[in-house]
Amino acid sequence: MNYFDIKEIIEEYDSIVLYRHIRPDYDALGSQLGLKYLLLENYPTKKIYTYGLENMNNPDFLEDMDNPSVDIIKKSLTIILDTSTHDRADDTSYLKGLKSLKIDHHLESENNTDYFFVIESASSTAEMIALLAIENNWKINKKAAEYLYAGMNSDTRGFTINSVSSTTFDILSILIDKGINLVEINRYLDDVSKEKFAAKHYLASKTIFKGDVAYIVLTKEIKKKLGLSTHEAKDFVYILDSIKGVNKYAFFFYEDDREAFSVSLRSHKASIVEIAKKFGGGGHRLACGIPKISYKQIDEVINLLIKAKV
Ligand SMILES: [Mn+2]
C-alpha cells in the first residue's frame, strides 16, 4: 500500500466519513480535519463527513463534527486516522462503512480494517496526510495546511523528537507556503485556561523523584479539588519533560468511570513500551500509556521504569 493506492481507493467512493481516536489530540483532529479540507478542495463533488463524539474545547480553531447517520455511513468509505486499536476509536461505526481504511503511525497498529496503511516511522498521522496530498499533487488550501501543521507540531512536541526527519521539514516548508500563521496556530495549541495553568503548577509541586524517574499521581481527591477533566489532566505528563537528570517520567491520573488510574509514560531514550504492554497498554517506543491500573500497581510501574535502560 502506498500514497497512490490510497488516492485510488478514495476516488472510488462518492461519500467518505473520517474518524479518529477517543480523547482526541491535535494529531487525531489535525489529520481528520486536514484530510477533510484536502478532500473538499480536490474532490468538490464528493460528500465528506467527520465523525467523533468527544471533542477538545477549542472552538476558535477546531470545528464541530458532522456525525452523519448510520444510513450515510453504510454508503460511505470510512477512514480512521491515528487510531492504533479498535477500542481507541471514536466511534466504532467506522466498521459499518462500505469499506474501511486505516491510516496510522502507531507501533503494532491493529489491522482490523479492509485497507490498512501504517507507517511506524512517520512522526505523526498529519505528516502522512500531508504526504498523501503532496505525492498525489493535490491542491493544499490554507485551512488544510493549518490543521496538518497543528497535528505535526503537537505530535512531535514542536519537532523535537527522533522520528522527525528531513521529510518532515520538506513538508513543513510546503505547508508554510500556504500562508499559515505559525504564531497564531501555536497560541491555539499552547494557551491554557487560567484554571489549567494554576493546576499545572500545583501538580508540578507534587512531583516525586526516584532514580532518574519523575512522576505525578493525580488522585481522585486532587482531581476533584482542581476541577480537572481526564482529558485536561492527560496533557500534564509534559510538565516533567525537561528536568535535568530525569530520563523517564510518568503521570498517573484517576479515572472516575473506571475507578482506576490511567497512565502516560514517557522516556527520552530507553524503550518503555514493553512496560506499558505488561499492564495491558501500548503506544510508541518512548511515549505510551496504560488504560487501567490500580493504585497499588503504581510502584510496580515506577520500579520497571527505573530499571529501563538504553
Ligand atoms: Mn499521532
In this predicted structure, what is the pLDDT of residue 233?
Answer: 78
pLDDT at 196: 87
* 1 Cα to the center of ligand 1, angstroms: 19
Q: With contact defined as beta carbons under 8 Å apart, do 101 and 117 qualify?
A: yes
Rounded Cα distance between 280 and 247, Å, is 23
pLDDT at 232: 74
- Provide the residue range defining the domain that includes 226: 194-307
One domain for residues 204 and 290: yes
Together in a domain, 119 and 212: no
- pTM, two decimals, is 0.86
Q: How far is the CA of 124 from the centre of ligand 1 (A)?
A: 5
253 CA to centre of ligand 1 in angstroms: 21
Total structural domains in the chain?
2
User: Are the CB atoms for 131 and 34 separated by under 8 Å?
Assistant: no
Report the distance separating Cα 248 and Cα 305, nearest Å. Answer: 7
Closest C-alpha to 223, from 238, 234, 207, 210: 234
Final residue belonging to a domain, choices 189, 217, 242: 189
pLDDT tens sequence across 245-255: 999 999 999 99
Here the CATH number for the domain that contains residue 231 is 3.10.310.30
CA of 28 relative to ligand 1 center, distance in Å:
6
Q: Do 141 and 222 belong together in one domain?
A: no
C-alpha 221 – ligand 1 centre gap (Å): 31
Q: Which residues of the chain have pLDDT under 50?
A: none
Q: Which residues pair with 306 in a beta bridge?
A: none
66/175 same-domain check: yes
Place of cell 523528537: 161
Q: Measured in angstroms, how far is the CA atom of residue 125 from the centroid of ligand 1?
A: 5
Q: Is the peptide bond before 91 cis (omega within 30 degrees of 0)?
A: yes
Residue ranges near ligand 1 (ion) with Cβ within 5 Å? 27, 82, 125, 155
In angstroms, what is the span from residue 208 Cα to ligand 1's centroid? 28
Ligand 1 centroid to residue 82 C-alpha, Å = 5
Q: What pLDDT, on a 0 to 100 scale, did the predictor assign at position 206?
A: 95
The reply to whether 38 and 115 lie within a common domain is: yes
Cα–Cα distance for residue pair 133/307, rounded to 1 Å: 43
pLDDT of residue 245: 96
Q: Which of 143, 164, 189 is the last residue of a domain?
A: 189
176 and 113 together in one domain: yes
- Are 169 and 22 members of one domain? yes
Last residue of a domain, one of 189, 223, 239: 189
Q: What is the CATH number of the domain that holds 46?
A: 3.90.1640.10
Q: Torsion angle, CA of 276/126/22/229, rounded to 10 degrees?
A: 90
Q: For 42, list phi and psi in degrees, rounded to 5.
A: -95, -20
